Amino acid sequence: VQGTYETFVEAGRQHYGGNLRGKWILTGGLGGMGGAQPLAAVMAGACCLAIECDPDRIDFRLRTRYVDERADTLDEALEKIERWTRAGEAKSVGLVGNTADIVPELVRRGVRPDLVTDQTSAHDPLNGYLPKGWSLAEWREKRTSDPKAVEKAARASMREHVEAMVAFWNAGVPTLDYGNNIRQVAKEEGFENAFAFPGFVPAYIRPLFCRGIGPFRWAALSGDPEDIYKTDAKVRELTPGNTHLHNWLDMARERIAFQGLPARICWVGLGDRHRLGLAFNEMVAKGELKAPVVIGRDHLDSGSVASPNRETESMKDGSDAVSDWPLLNALLNTASGAT
């Protein structure tokens, strides 16, 4: 969730003076990764219209409080968005529908979101993207009986989806690829301008990487949520003035349930990671925490994977596909005693 939150916050900084109040984000997909979008948008102060073809996924996100309300028609969803943005409320709606149908329809209607992205599972044309005009039942049956037809129809639908996203981009709406490779599929399907809009890393995350800011996560081996709440307080103490980080901690505690061991993630700079790690060690040594905490990193970080359409897109030195830093990091980490 926080990576998406950081993306939306940075977009707000770049395009809207750091304030997303009264703004709304259009996106698709409420699966394992995409489900973070409506909650992250609300945490960042924006409204979100998230399109999802499977109503069960929307209902799951409602139960887990990742999405606030459900709509079964586009008009109903737009009415909610208009009402919330006018009132300056940050709320989200999951719309039952197909992005391949709805995103082009919004372009035709002249509807203007404040940010457009997508986290459908477009990287998997067979199992992850409902073709335009197909029912869920037809899609599920044909994935087994005629997988080639499914892939062909899904890829053609992705092209139309990306064409609509480019139309938003050309109209001046900030638009971003969120790492699902949908632009690549659209280009392979003959849409030469598929990469007109940027990926989320060069657009909004790399400025953080360039300052050494990235994901820093830890889990409480005690299994006691109180240990995480105590570390939350320590993070606040050591990062005074970092209001959006403090907002993240508040919202995470309020809206995100622990799964497995209690854990937390924060995007902080290298110097802050160092200070926080030492502070956590001291808390364990003094008995302030019931057991040690395990600190980890994320693959979405500076000097991590080489992925030309995602983490390393549009590198200034042209090294999009060069994987030297991940290898150097591995050597340095192991030489320093890490596993």
Give 207's pLDDT tier (boundaries 50, 70, 90).
confident
Q: DSSP letter string over 161-207?
A: HHHHHHHHHHTT--B-B-SS-HHHHHHHTT-TTTTSSPBHIIIIIHH
Q: Look at residue 329 and tell me whether its pLDDT is greater than 90.
A: no
Q: Give the span between the Cα atoms of 227 and 222, in whole angstroms.
A: 8
Concerning whether 210 is annotated as a catalytic residue, the answer is no
Give 297's pLDDT tier (boundaries 50, 70, 90).
confident
Contact status, residue 227 vs residue 262, Cβ threshold 8 Å: yes
Q: Look at residue 308 and tell me whether its pLDDT is greater than 70.
A: no
Q: Give the span between the Cα atoms of 28 and 97, in whole angstroms.
A: 9
Q: Return the pLDDT at 255.
A: 85
Arithmetic mean of pLDDT, 138-153 = 96
Query: Domain residues of the chain, as ranges?
Result: 2-206, 212-296
95-104, 158-167, 209-218 — which is least confidently predicted?
Answer: 209-218
Q: Which of 47, 48, 53, 266 is catalytic?
A: 266
42-56, 81-95, 236-250, 299-313 — which is least confidently predicted?
Answer: 299-313
Contact status, residue 169 vs residue 177, Cβ threshold 8 Å: no
pTM above 0.75, yes or no: yes
Q: Choose between 210 and 58: higher pLDDT.
A: 58
Q: Is 151 exposed, middle or buried (0-12, 13-18, 19+ CB in 10 A)?
A: middle
Beta strands, E only, 113-173 = 115-116
- For 56-64, the CB contacts below 8 A with 24+ separation are 57/30, 57/31, 57/94, 58/30, 58/94, 58/96, 60/35, 61/30, 61/35, 61/94, 62/94, 64/257
The CATH number of domain 2-206, selected from 3.30.300.30, 1.20.1050.10, 3.40.50.10730, 3.40.640.10: 3.40.50.10730
Q: What does pLDDT average to over the chain?
A: 92
Q: Return the pLDDT at 312.
A: 66
Q: Look at residue 17 and tell me whether its pLDDT is greater than 80.
A: yes
Q: Return the pLDDT at 310.
A: 61
Q: Look at residue 163 and tell me whether its pLDDT is greater than 80.
A: yes
